[in-house]
Structure 1
Amino acid sequence: MTKSTRRKHAWRARLPVVGIVVVVTAGVAAAVTGAANPLPGLRVVPGGHWVYNSVLHVAFHVDGGTAAIDARAAVPGDPGSQVLQGDSSGYVVGGTRITEFGKSDLTAGPSVTPPSAEVPVGVETAGGPYLVYRRAGQVARLGDPAATMSAGGPVGDPVATADGTLWLPRTSSGLLCRLDRGAVSLSSCPVALPAVHQGAFTLVGDALHFVDTTDGSVRTVEADGLGAAVPMGVAATADLRPAANDVAGRVPVLDSSANRLYLVDPAPNPRPAIVVALPAGQYDGPVAGGPVVAVVNRSTGTLLTFDAAGRPTDARPVPPGEGTSRIVRGEDARVYVDGAQGTHVLVVGKDGKITDVPVVPPAGKPDQPVPDHPTPGQPPVVVPVEHPGTGNNPDGGAGDKPKPHEPPPPPRNPSPPAVPASPPGAPPGVSATGGDSSATVSWGAAADNRAAVTAYRISWAGGSRTVGGGTRQVEITGLANGTRYTFTVVAQNKAGTGPGASASATPAAAASAPKLTAAYRDGDASLSWTQPDLGGGQLVHYVVTGTGLAQQTVSGTTATYSGLSAGKTYTFTVRAVTRTPDGQTRTGAAASKSVTVPSPKITISQGAPTSSGNCDAPDCARVNVTMTGFAPNTTYAIRLSSESNANVRTESARTNGNGSLTYNQLDYDEPGQTVWVSVETPDGRITSNRINWKSQ
């Protein structure tokens, strides 16, 4: 990197800094890894963990896979500083200054002074890193583009998903807001949290969940709200503290008051929580790293690790030193515990075993503390990684001069040697979503560890599939609905196959269409149906619709619609809504039926001869009256009229449940007259057909 490039790099680092210090209390830093492409010809230190040795003023890089120091850079800093890393830069963040250094050339730039004493939360994620000032409601992005943004009020602990989205819960308004990667202001606040409820957020795979400590439940965070509450199976208390990531699909939750660690299942129909009894003490954490969860007992100064089943795997004393150690999740998804002065790091392996890594220079080559203020115009000191055989004396003696005719010694500060390629890291953000006899598996780019990823292999019980290194999603077909599958994704490069990351899904089909019947009865449209094939899901409810009518949500198998208009045809549909074993909601196929509401109609005819007190044979006969489409179970006045008499006679009759009646108690006896019948309704008079009366 040229001097001009370094000057530009350092100038950019000044832009976002407003009140930047970092949290030194353990268990609050969220870390989500991403892959970065190095500039041609530059050495980029791979994903892992950086620690700041405040005694030597040197940032050291720890390779979690080998538990070895593989790079270091001399950077001015404060005691207790921590290191956050972005795609191409690292940042030593302390209480009085922040210093950026290049991960490719391990060269420090100038420091900047944070004006605020508030301790922020540091978040490593794609597009970051970020510093979140919770009380002030401010977010500072150190990455490109640098920016300082308002969160609109105080916020709780942030969480970042693998795509670089930063989620911020507003503590005053109860809203969950999102900051998209590269955005210069909050993108939206789409989710409202339950009123007066407390809790925190965690990632299961890369799906965001809300751990509600008020009612002891876990809810998925969906596009416009929270999903159904899944009981954790533990007593609700304000002392519950979840990890920021899951362990094999379970959320680690620490109950600091009861000295218990729980591993809870957030899926619908959850498995019972795993309960781990902890020794008495005050705890930091939990922090989840791959298949391991770790806590630090502050009272005894011990790091404890457990596997995904809650079984103890290891215990070690925390690194010594004045101040407070820090437990974090590294960029490689491993757990690290930094000593307070950065002179030791505990590295937790994928098997839960703990390795103590001294953060010191090689024997016989003591580093000198870096001056706080380098000479103006001089580049910052680069402290290279030294290996056996690169010193001035092949025999190991100190201060010996080269023998005659031997080549001159190497430069005092040679460039760091190239780090050999190793198998890729585990793919981040693995998720699986069940479909109909299928599942869609997605993942993020695995750290290539200095050799391009050439392929990803997805395996499950009954099969496997290999796709190209640029693929991030694949659909697996031919699966059995209702069967839970665990999909493991590994990355491959020329150095070998890396560790796997897994996610589970249960294929399920949408429900089929119900068998529907519909009829017009008693003035209403009455619907009934039978439960359809639910496709391996669980019935939530039925959704019923009708033409121009309000939608109904019912749990049974019947529905009724009233207030229908005469003469109009209504089409009704019924769909079953189900929830898959993975908690997804699906709407099934629709069944449809149409119902026509009859219009009021009166029909008359001349009936059989009769006689009465006011009607004489042979001209007297009954008037047969048929009414349809009237209001059911309603009494109507039926008036008989003729050309010579507007109201020959009026009598009353009552319709049946279908709004129909047949009446033949009216009679008439004047041949040659035109007669008809009429009925008054709330909507007006209904008149029958007209007939000419004939002598029988």
Structure 2
Amino acid sequence: MITAVAVTTAVGLAVSGAAKPGGGIDFFQSGHWVFNSVLGTVFHIDGASRNIDAQLGLAADPGSRVVQGETGGYVVGGNRIIEFGKSDLAVGKVTAPAARERPVALEVAGGPYLVYRQAGQIVRLGDEHTSIAAGGSLGEPVTTSAGSVWVHHQGTNSICELARDADRLDCPANAPSGHTGGLTTVADRPVFIDTSTDTVHPIEEDGLGEGTALGVDAPPNARFASTDVGGRIAVLDGAGKRMHLVDTTPAKASPVTVNLPDGDYADVASSGQTVVLLDRAKNHVLTYDRDGKPRQNTPLPPGEPRLSKGEDSRVYVDSADGGHVLVVDNDGAVHPVQVTGSEHPAPSAPPPAGPPPAAGPPPAAPPAQEQQQQAPPPAQTKPPPPPPQPKPSTPAPKPASPPGAPPGVKATAGNAAITVNWGAASPNGGAVSNYHIAWTSSAGSGEKTVGGGVRSTTLSGLTNGSTYVVTVTAENSAGRGPGAGSAGVTPKSPRTITVSRGEEESYGDGCSVPDCAKMHVVATGFDPNTEYDFNPFSTAENYSNPGSGQTTDSDGSVTFEAFHFGQVGESVWVIADGVESNHFTWPPG
């Protein structure tokens, strides 16, 4: 059992202008930590500036990777997990890994998490690590900005959620038995891609939603970026050396297929508006925009690189020894960072006091006469005042990075309108100045901008009957962050029923013209091409009528005449599917 870690160096450079009590360093939830196994040092890279702003020397397993949570970092190796504080760069406890395999590391609100796919274990790292057993091998996990982890159980085909702070899995859906596929998120909501039927399904509270055709042939071993690329799903066919970009919004643009250069493609990620691919054969990182146009092709040193997505939505690619990192921004720009840090010496303790003089015979006292004749000591002069000490410099504030995704985006449909609500996005070092609310549907698309203090808005002038997907994006001085989307909602006209007097007509012995006539009924806003039961009521004593079944047209409307009535001065009304009409006072003929 490992009980101690040798700390060789601890140097912390300011990464924000605000210090915690006691002189600790305040870290934003952004950037990337990497372990340089040659130097034996953990480094923090600021994602926005690409500067190294903190480092900590420690002895960790070669090839370890580092993940960060809100207050701590975790150096995850094959034999041990070493915890350190982000505010004080102090090494904490050391624990054994849950399984002997390289886990998938996830940096997300409430985490970080380690997913041991083969062992079927999910570990939430923190003050006390929490291990959740999934009961079998798992597919690639995905996360949402709310802090949920979603996994696909490959043995049972169950699709399960580990909610933030939960200690057990909830499995609301199952893929069809024998089908293959995987998970991704679209507009911050999980979906399942069925590669047996080449369809994509939203995951709903009571199972898989209705499938939408991908429009491409996805092989059983296809890999998917864990988040969408500007509204498109990135499907990597490594064996076929091609990538598909599939639009699943209501606009449903045609899929884009990219034929890749010869190579070994196994990893794919999204930085928001850009696809990031890792070619292990050449150790190159390739980036493409959402339309499949190539952006950059950047080499890495030899070895087995690692690709990961940070909580700041950037993609980071570490070289095998941690000496080089590629930072991929939301717009696809690739920035190489040489991970060497600063050559600061370790702080040393004050020197100890010198040893006392060695014991020996006391010096002989001078003769009394000599003592009396001894000259007085020379007058002492005051030493010059020390030069003024320079005032300690205030660390430069950390450059802002784009805000996080707004949490809790909810869209509520109305009459030709949608009301959108959302929570405050993480500012990431720069106050949120604007929120951009974009909507797409088969009837068109658009965007609206509101101030940084606004949490709700109404989109008007929309088309009833068309399904809209709404995406909210925050902006600060560093630019726009990743968007978070709503479920699809469909504005409708309000359901109304109006009753008036119709055509005069006698009916039986008790209802004669001119007072007897049919009720004229107009219903609007109902589901199209659907049959409803319309039932009449009246204040007249002993009135009863079995009602009539009527089918709406393609606009959800129906107009008909039925229900003879002739009792002047009494009120009549009609109810269908819980909607009650106006109360109409019957006039004389």
The alignment's TM-score, normalised by the length of structure 2, stands at 0.70
Residue 542 of structure 1: aligned partner = 530
1:628-668 CA deviation, whole Å, 9 max, x = no partner? xxxxxxxxxxxxxxxxxxxxxxxxxxxxxxxxxxxxxxxxx
Q: Is the 8 A contact 2:533 2:549 kept in 1?
A: yes
Larger radius of gyration: 1
Q: Does 1:150 align with 2:129?
A: no
**TM-aligned CA distance change 1:172 to 1:129, over 3 Å:** same
Q: Is the 8 A contact 1:313 1:351 kept in 2?
A: no
Q: Is the 8 A contact 1:124 1:130 kept in 2?
A: yes
Residue 427 of structure 1: aligned partner = 405
Question: Out of 41, 56, 59, which is 1:76 matched to?
Answer: 59
Structure 1 CA distance for aligned equivalents of residues 429 and 224 of structure 2: 34
**TM-aligned CA distance change 1:405 to 1:269, over 3 Å:** closer
1:322-380 CA deviation, whole Å, 9 max, x = no partner? x4100111121111110011000011133322221000023xx2789xxxxxxxxxxxx
Deviation at residue 59 of structure 1 after TM alignment: 1.5
Question: What's the C-alpha RMSD, in Å, of the aligned pairs?
Answer: 4.2
Residue 356 of structure 2: aligned partner = none
Structure 1 CA distance for aligned equivalents of residues 550 and 241 of structure 2: 51
Structure 2 CA distance for aligned equivalents of residues 146 and 531 of structure 1: 63
**TM-aligned CA distance change 1:114 to 1:457, over 3 Å:** closer
Deviation at residue 406 of structure 1 after TM alignment: 6.6
**Structure 1 unaligned blocks of 5 or more:** 1-10, 12-36, 369-403, 517-529, 548-566, 580-587, 597-696
Q: Is the 8 A contact 2:406 2:473 kept in 1?
A: no
Q: Does 1:466 align with 2:451?
A: yes
- Counterpart of 1:214 in 2: which secondary structure? coil
Residue 320 of structure 2: aligned partner = 340
Name the amino acid aligned to 1:238: P
Structure 2 CA distance for aligned equivalents of residues 514 and 263 of structure 1: 43
Q: Is the 8 A contact 1:44 1:104 kept in 2?
A: yes
1:45-90 CA deviation, whole Å, 9 max, x = no partner? 2211111111122211112211221222223311111111111111
Deviation at residue 509 of structure 1 after TM alignment: 2.4
Q: Is the 8 A contact 1:132 1:139 kept in 2?
A: yes
Q: Does 1:121 align with 2:104?
A: yes
Residue 354 of structure 1: aligned partner = 334
Deviation at residue 115 of structure 1 after TM alignment: 6.0
Question: Out of 269, 274, 282, which is 1:287 matched to?
Answer: 269
**TM-aligned CA distance change 1:173 to 1:595, over 3 Å:** farther
- Counterpart of 2:311 in 1: which secondary structure? coil
Question: Out of 40, 47, 56, which is 1:64 matched to?
Answer: 47
Name the amino acid aligned to 2:263: G
Q: Does 1:328 align with 2:271?
A: no
**TM-aligned CA distance change 1:157 to 1:424, over 3 Å:** closer
Name the amino acid aligned to 2:332: G
1:489-519 CA deviation, whole Å, 9 max, x = no partner? 3244xxx364244467887423666999xxx
Q: Is the 8 A contact 2:406 2:484 kept in 1?
A: no
Q: Does 1:212 align with 2:200?
A: no
Residue 159 of structure 1: aligned partner = 142
Deviation at residue 448 of structure 1 after TM alignment: 2.8
**TM-aligned CA distance change 1:54 to 1:487, over 3 Å:** same
Deviation at residue 575 of structure 1 after TM alignment: 8.2
Deviation at residue 259 of structure 1 after TM alignment: 1.0
Name the amino acid aligned to 1:352: G
**TM-aligned CA distance change 1:213 to 1:65, over 3 Å:** same
Name the amino acid aligned to 1:167: W
Q: Is the 8 A contact 1:430 1:441 kept in 2?
A: no
Question: Out of 468, 473, 480, which is 1:499 matched to?
Answer: 480
- Counterpart of 2:530 in 1: which secondary structure? strand
The aligned runs of 1:83-94 (5 Å cut-off) are: 83-94=66-77
Structure 1 CA distance for aligned equivalents of residues 114 and 292 of structure 2: 33
Deviation at residue 242 of structure 1 after TM alignment: 1.0
Structure 1 CA distance for aligned equivalents of residues 38 and 554 of structure 2: 60
Q: What is the aligned length?
A: 471
Structure 1 CA distance for aligned equivalents of residues 560 and 49 of structure 2: 64
Residue 489 of structure 1: aligned partner = 473
Residue 299 of structure 2: aligned partner = 317
1:172-201 CA deviation, whole Å, 9 max, x = no partner? 222112222112222x21112122111111
Deviation at residue 418 of structure 1 after TM alignment: 5.5
Residue 443 of structure 2: aligned partner = none
- Counterpart of 1:152 in 2: which secondary structure? coil
Structure 2 CA distance for aligned equivalents of residues 593 and 80 of structure 1: 79
Structure 1 CA distance for aligned equivalents of residues 460 and 296 of structure 2: 42
Q: Is the 8 A contact 1:512 1:532 kept in 2?
A: no
Structure 2 CA distance for aligned equivalents of residues 357 and 408 of structure 1: 36
Q: Is the 8 A contact 2:140 2:152 kept in 1?
A: yes
**TM-aligned CA distance change 1:260 to 1:100, over 3 Å:** same
Residue 460 of structure 2: aligned partner = 478
Deviation at residue 419 of structure 1 after TM alignment: 3.6
Q: Is the 8 A contact 1:177 1:190 kept in 2?
A: yes
**Structure 2 unaligned blocks of 5 or more:** 4-17, 347-384, 439-445, 499-520, 536-542, 565-589
Q: Is the 8 A contact 1:164 1:181 kept in 2?
A: yes
**TM-aligned CA distance change 1:284 to 1:107, over 3 Å:** same
Deviation at residue 306 of structure 1 after TM alignment: 0.7
Structure 1 CA distance for aligned equivalents of residues 184 and 51 of structure 2: 30
Residue 227 of structure 1: aligned partner = 209
Question: Out of 240, 245, 253, which is 1:271 matched to?
Answer: 253
- Counterpart of 2:458 in 1: which secondary structure? strand
Q: Does 1:139 align with 2:117?
A: no
Structure 1 CA distance for aligned equivalents of residues 461 and 478 of structure 2: 26
Q: Is the 8 A contact 2:314 2:327 kept in 1?
A: yes
Q: Is the 8 A contact 1:136 1:154 kept in 2?
A: yes
Deviation at residue 95 of structure 1 after TM alignment: 0.3
Structure 2 CA distance for aligned equivalents of residues 418 and 175 of structure 1: 50
Structure 2 CA distance for aligned equivalents of residues 501 and 108 of structure 1: 33
**TM-aligned CA distance change 1:577 to 1:50, over 3 Å:** farther
Residue 438 of structure 1: aligned partner = 417
Q: Is the 8 A contact 1:543 1:577 kept in 2?
A: no
- Counterpart of 1:233 in 2: which secondary structure? coil
The aligned runs of 1:233-312 (5 Å cut-off) are: 233-268=215-250, 270-312=252-294
**TM-aligned CA distance change 1:361 to 1:545, over 3 Å:** same
Q: Is the 8 A contact 2:61 2:79 kept in 1?
A: yes
Residue 357 of structure 2: aligned partner = none
- Counterpart of 2:243 in 1: which secondary structure? strand
Question: Out of 157, 162, 167, which is 1:174 matched to?
Answer: 157
Name the amino acid aligned to 2:99: S
The aligned runs of 1:364-403 (5 Å cut-off) are: 365=343
Q: Is the 8 A contact 1:438 1:477 kept in 2?
A: yes
Name the amino acid aligned to 2:530: Y
Structure 2 CA distance for aligned equivalents of residues 430 and 265 of structure 1: 23
1:419-477 CA deviation, whole Å, 9 max, x = no partner? 435255243568574623333445565343345x4654335547432242xx6x42323
